[in-house]
């Protein structure tokens, strides 16, 4: 009789991106080369700053989604490689701009580009990367692809402006919050998945299913990010814990805690979020209130629900290793830090 390698009490392995990365490894190697080639410029600061971002790491989840969606749809060409690089350039450009807007000093656990090179350089190199992304779109030659990715770029910018308008506004509703994260985060996940199906020339129902998969994955991803800002260690989060609080961002954990708080607690949120009058002890108080009302746990629970909706969109596709690896990617996105 063969002995079991693990006992019934052995906890299952934590979800990871390892299988997904392995399944698209040849394509990702090509994407990385495209990224390196297109970061080059005779203006020395541009490749220096871009190389700093590459060296900082990152899971490249969005381009992974493009490559995996194309593979799931049976695509055999190479167009998806340039488009995955395009998606990563859009994402990286938005990170550069976001860190300037938020005055962030850390990105993925290392000094942010603006902390090293300055705000002006970061904004301008972000513009350069956006330009590179549009060059890649044009080279692809598909008006459908150009429409999907250019629309995503516009919506991301709208989402960032919308978030700026809701910052410090405790009257922000859950619906408004979801509009913000759908625009600033989920739309690029959606576009990344959609173009993978577009290049494979799949039927419209499959294209839209992958777009909905990407949207739900992106919403779940951002919900977890917003929960982690109040619950994670800095090592796990890759940025300073409490950044959202210090910047007065009204995320779901705060919306729920404010709605459930008493008059004294609401006064605390008004002082710290709306007026941005904060002491060194206020983050701990905010975390205590969020724990009291279970709003991080509820945010995580909602992310898991949205993650299940993302999985449901994949059910129409063949039961292949790439599909199961995408399912695991969803589990990874909603289990980070937990």
pLDDT in tens, 159-207: 999 998 999 999 999 999 999 999 999 999 999 999 999 999 999 999 9
pLDDT in tens, 97-131: 777 666 665 555 566 666 566 677 777 888 899 99
pLDDT in tens, 79-102: 999 999 999 999 988 888 777 666
Q: Of 23-32, 87-96, 250-259, 294-303, which gets the smallest average pLDDT?
A: 87-96
Is the dihedral angle over the CA atoms 240, 303, 182, 188 positive or is it negative? positive
Q: Is the pLDDT of residue 6 over 60?
A: no
Model-level pTM?
0.90
| Cα 224 from Cα 247, distance rounded (Å) | 18
| Residue ranges in the chain assigned as alpha helix (H) | 18-23, 25-38, 45-55, 61-72, 79-102, 113-117, 119-140, 143-166, 174-181, 187-199, 204-231, 234-237, 243-246, 252-260, 263-269, 282-292, 295-314, 321-335
Q: Is the pLDDT of residue 227 over 70?
A: yes
Radius of gyration of the chain (CA): 21
pLDDT in tens, 243-261: 899 999 999 999 999 999 9
């Amino acid at each position: 009789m063969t002995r079991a390698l693990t006992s019934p009490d052995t906890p299952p392995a934590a979800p990871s991106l390892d299988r997904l990365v392995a399944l698209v490894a040849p394509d990702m190697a090509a994407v990385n080369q495209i990224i390196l080639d297109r970061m080059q410029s005779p203006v020395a600061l541009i490749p220096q700053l871009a190389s700093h971002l590459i060296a900082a790491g990152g899971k490249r989840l969005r381009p992974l989604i493009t490559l995996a969606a194309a593979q799931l749809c049976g695509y055999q060409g190479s167009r998806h490689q340039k488009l995955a690089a395009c998606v990563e350039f859009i994402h990286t450009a938005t990170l550069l701009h976001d860190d300037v807007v938020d005055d962030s000093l850390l990105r993925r656990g290392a000094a942010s580009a603006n902390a090293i090179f300055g705000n002006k350089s970061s904004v301008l190199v972000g513009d350069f990367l956006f330009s590179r992304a549009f060059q890649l779109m044009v080279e692809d030659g598909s008006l459908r692809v150009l429409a999907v990715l250019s629309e995503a770029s516009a919506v991301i910018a709208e989402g960032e402006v919308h978030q700026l308008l809701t910052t410090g506004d405790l009257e922000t509703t859950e619906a408004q919050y979801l509009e913000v994260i759908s625009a600033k985060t989920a739309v690029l996940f959606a576009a990344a998945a959609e173009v993978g199906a577009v290049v494979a020339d799949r039927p419209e129902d499959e294209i839209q299913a992958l777009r909905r998969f990407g949207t739900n994955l992106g919403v779940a991803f951002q919900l977890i990010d917003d929960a982690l800002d109040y619950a994670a260690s800095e090592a796990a989060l890759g940025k300073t814990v409490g950044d959202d609080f210090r910047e007065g961002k009204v995320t779901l954990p705060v919306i729920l805690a404010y709605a459930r708080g008493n008059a004294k607690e609401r006064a605390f949120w008004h002082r710290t979020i709306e007026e941005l009058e904060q002491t060194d002890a206020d983050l701990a108080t905010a975390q205590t209130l969020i724990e009291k009302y279970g709003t991080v746990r509820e945010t995580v629970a909602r992310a898991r629900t949205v993650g299940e909706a993302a999985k449901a969109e994949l059910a129409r596709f063949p039961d292949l290793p790439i599909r199961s690896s995408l399912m695991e990617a969803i589990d990874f996105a909603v289990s980070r830090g937990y």
